[in-house]
Amino acid sequence: MKTIPQLLAEELGCKEEYVNNVVSLLDEGNTIPFIARYRKEAHGAMDDTTLRTLETRLGYLRNLQTRREEVKASIDAQGKLTDELSAAIDRALTLAEVEDLYRPYKQKPRTRATVAKEKGLEPLAQAIFEQQMQMDPPEVLAKDYINPDLGVETIEDALAGASDIIAERISDDAELRKNLRTMMQKRALCQSRAAKPDEDSVYRLYYAFDQPVAKLQSHQILALNRGEKEGFLKVSLDLDRAQAMQLVRRHVVEPGTPAMAFLIAAAEDSFDRLLAPSMERELRTSLTDTANEAAIGNFALNLRPLLMQPPVKGFVTMGLDPGYAHGCKVAVIDATGKVLDTTVVYPTFSERKKQEAIDSLKKLIDRYGVRHLAIGNGTASRETEAMAVELIRKCPGVSYMIVNEAGASVYSASKLAAEEFPQYDVNLRSAVSIARRLQDPLAELVKIDPKAIGVGQYQHDMPQKQLDDALCGVVEDCVNAVGVDINTASPSLLQRVSGLNATTAKNVVAYREENGAFTSRAQIKKVPKLGPKAFQQCAGFLRVPESKSVLDNTAVHPESYEAAKALLALSGYTLADVKESRISDLPERIKSYGEGKAAAEIGVGVPTLRDIVSELLKPGRDVRDELPKPILRTDVLEMKDLTPGMVLTGTVRNVIDFGVFVDIGVHQDGLVHISQVADKFIKHPSEVVSVGDVVKVVVLEVDEKKKRISLSMKQA
């Protein structure tokens, strides 16, 4: 039997030695970002996504092993564990296979079979099930089991009880269930019909829906589940009964015996009453699990580029949280995110009120030197955008961007926002959050539950713990990939740093407030409750721009400082040269010296050497600065301005199974159907685009009434 590391190595296509190293590192309490960044030699430079997959599968396989042992112990306690059964349980590769093998030995509620066994009919069922060529017919065998005291009055009663026992035995057969499961996955048909045919709904597409199970898409499975739950759909999985019965009969019935007809009848009863309903439930659960996994994966895939959007740093920004009845909430923040001023204007009330709003906002722009407007994309966004364009015409050099405000209201009403802005009401906090999302999307979005950010589908139907784990993993990876300025980061951002948690993050901030800005990484060790292990995990991801040592403002880990200095000395440089950016030909010098030779001389592996070189070239860099900048606009488009054939530039807002939603500067995002994403076959739009990408699109069709815009990327 293969070991867990052997299985993982096969699945991930990597060396078993690397898997063993990662498993050891995880068991020692190291975090994924730390392992990914600072232990590359140990795992062959796997990325954080692969490492998280390994961690998840490791957990599953360990649970599987634990369950195998539990099942064997339970069967052994009944005195029924054979060497053959024990080996079969050890060979089972999924929890479903283990449970199939355990089924016959599991304590069940009272069934028709258990009632028949209580009437003493198990030996009769066994004699019939053995299907000997020379046996007596079942009717003859049954005579010996008539017992009015136990409720077996006639031969028919005895045979009915024996049939129930045999039907349950067939239903519990692990190999038969496995074969049926395979058949259903390949050949079953998913059918959906309207539960309320006269009532229209968003599920109309599924009112007469037939699709082979093997071809079902994840988004279809989740839509069917939700439609069924809300009472609009009736969903069933249909398997050709004749084909299924042929498989069951072949597995169970010995041809030509006196018991053949009886066994066929019992097998049909087993299939119709026990197997088919049970297998349908199981397959529905399995399909849902697979769809959930795909949806969570898609959500995580979209979240990463959203969090990694380039910040618009260094400018005074005005956040506008649009609204009708309560007006448009306004917050002006400086380049560091500090609130300078707030107000509320009412541009949607009347033309006079709109002009008053423009005058009021122009004064704020002039007073504080505002360069950018960040407009939330919620209610009244279009009217606010139109007002902003009028405003910008009076303020040369000012531009605006529509910001995805998903989750802003969740944050505004949170305990965290109340602690951060006790002096502002909920609505004004939202305007501050929108402005900060433009300045630094990552630093602001970490304050919000990732599920509320809205870059997936059916997030409320997902298994919440699984979704949380996946999304929090993405947030953690992004925060650590960018790095965090320890002297300006909020507790929300700090607690996402490798090795830190809510308590140590608050302690960092408290220490900073009491003692002033950190002046070195070594000083981090003085933070209460931040021990040596936590320091090892977090130090490389925390930047200290105020430090005298330039290395403290890079991703070089303190454990590699001596190696970095040795590398510079080897190349004829000093740390002062790094600070003054005088080492541009460092890579060439290392190359001519020999990477392997240099790495051996300074006592690190080649991957670590490359990382050190990369960091020394750009101390204090932000990896997001290398990505395409977000689109800032100075004019507004409306749906009525759009015509088929128009070519526009837009920002990808969401990537889902059937297409891509693109913000093209009108209030409604346009949809690029998967068939219009690329001029080649793709299984999923994420093969071509990510959230935040800037793309060119052609308008195909505009439906103002339904507020739908169809776009094409491949025709652009």
Predicted local distance difference test score (pLDDT) of residue 456: 67
Average pLDDT over residues 370-390: 88
Predicted local distance difference test score (pLDDT) of residue 301: 86
> 320: exposed, middle or buried (C-beta count within 10 Å: 0-12, 13-18, 19+)?
buried
Element (H, E) at 35: helix 32-38
Which residue bears the tokens 């699945």?
Answer: 11
Average pLDDT over residues 670-678: 93
Among residues 48, 90, 31, 17, the alpha carbon closest in space to that of 9 is found at: 17
Q: Quick one: pLDDT band at residue 378, thresholds 50, 70, 90?
A: confident
Give dist(CA 443, CA 489) in Å, integer.
Answer: 8
pLDDT tens profile 341-361: 999 999 988 999 999 999 999
Give dist(CA 378, CA 322) in Å, integer.
Answer: 7
Predicted local distance difference test score (pLDDT) of residue 454: 66
Give dist(CA 460, CA 458) in Å, integer.
Answer: 5
Q: Quick one: pLDDT band at residue 150, thresholds 50, 70, 90?
A: very high
Give dist(CA 31, CA 22) in Å, integer.
Answer: 10
Provide the residue count of the chain: 716
Give one word for 120, left, alpha or beta, with left for phi > 0 and alpha for psi -120 to 50: left
Give dist(CA 173, CA 280) in Å, integer.
Answer: 16
- Count of Cβ atoms closer than 10 Å to residue 49 Cβ: 17
Give dist(CA 155, CA 158) in Å, integer.
Answer: 5
CA dihedral 647, 648, 650, 654 (to 10 degrees): -40
Q: Quick one: pLDDT band at residue 427, thresholds 50, 70, 90?
A: confident
How would DSSP label each residue in 256-299?
TSTTHHHHHHHHHHIIIIIIHHHHHHHHHHHHHHHHHHHHHHHH
79 Cα distance to chain centroid:
44
Average pLDDT over residues 640-661: 87
Q: What is the mean pLDDT of the chain?
A: 92
Average pLDDT over residues 536-547: 96
This prediction has a pTM of 0.81
Indicate if the pLDDT at residue 373 is higher than 70: yes
Indicate if the pLDDT at residue 541 is higher than 70: yes
Q: Quick one: pLDDT band at residue 409, thresholds 50, 70, 90?
A: confident
Predicted local distance difference test score (pLDDT) of residue 416: 83
Average pLDDT over residues 57-77: 96
What percent of the residues of the chain are helix, what percent strand, and what percent coil, each to the nearest 5?
Answer: 55, 10, 30
Q: Quick one: pLDDT band at residue 99, thresholds 50, 70, 90?
A: very high
Predicted local distance difference test score (pLDDT) of residue 538: 97
Predicted local distance difference test score (pLDDT) of residue 451: 79
- Please state which of the ranges 179-188, 256-265, 453-462, 506-515 shows the lowest mean pLDDT: 453-462
> 395: exposed, middle or buried (C-beta count within 10 Å: 0-12, 13-18, 19+)?
middle
Predicted local distance difference test score (pLDDT) of residue 194: 95
Element (H, E) at 552: none
Average pLDDT over residues 360-364: 96
Predicted local distance difference test score (pLDDT) of residue 383: 86
Is the Cβ–Cβ distance between 694 and 633 less than 8 Å?
A: no
Q: Which amino acid is at 703?
A: D
Non-local CB neighbours of 106 within 8 Å, separated by 6+ positions: none
- Please state which of the ranges 277-281, 620-624, 635-639 shows the lowest mean pLDDT: 635-639
269 Cα distance to chain centroid:
42
How many percent of the chain have pLDDT more than 70? 99
Predicted local distance difference test score (pLDDT) of residue 637: 67
Question: Torsions phi, psi of 573, nearest 5?
Answer: -120, 170
Which residue bears the tokens 């490798």?
Answer: 498
Question: Torsions phi, psi of 133, nearest 5?
Answer: -65, -35
DSSP conformation class of 633: B
Average pLDDT over residues 244-256: 96
Is the Cβ–Cβ distance between 403 and 375 less than 8 Å?
A: yes
Is the Cβ–Cβ distance between 504 and 474 less than 8 Å?
A: no
Average pLDDT over residues 80-90: 95
Give dist(CA 475, CA 33) in Å, integer.
Answer: 11
Q: Quick one: pLDDT band at residue 656, thresholds 50, 70, 90?
A: confident
Helix ranges (H only) for 135-236 are 138-142, 155-171, 174-187, 218-229
pLDDT tens profile 444-493: 888 888 877 766 677 778 888 888 888 889 999 999 999 999 999 999 99
Strands 233-238 and 189-194: antiparallel
How many percent of the chain have pLDDT more than 90? 72
Predicted local distance difference test score (pLDDT) of residue 242: 95
User: Positive or negative CA dihedral for 82, 84, 87, 92?
Assistant: negative
Non-local CB neighbours of 69 within 8 Å, separated by 6+ positions: none
Non-local CB neighbours of 280 within 8 Å, separated by 6+ positions: 184, 236, 237
Q: Quick one: pLDDT band at residue 636, thresholds 50, 70, 90?
A: low
- Please state which of the ranges 79-88, 194-203, 230-239, 562-571 shows the lowest mean pLDDT: 194-203
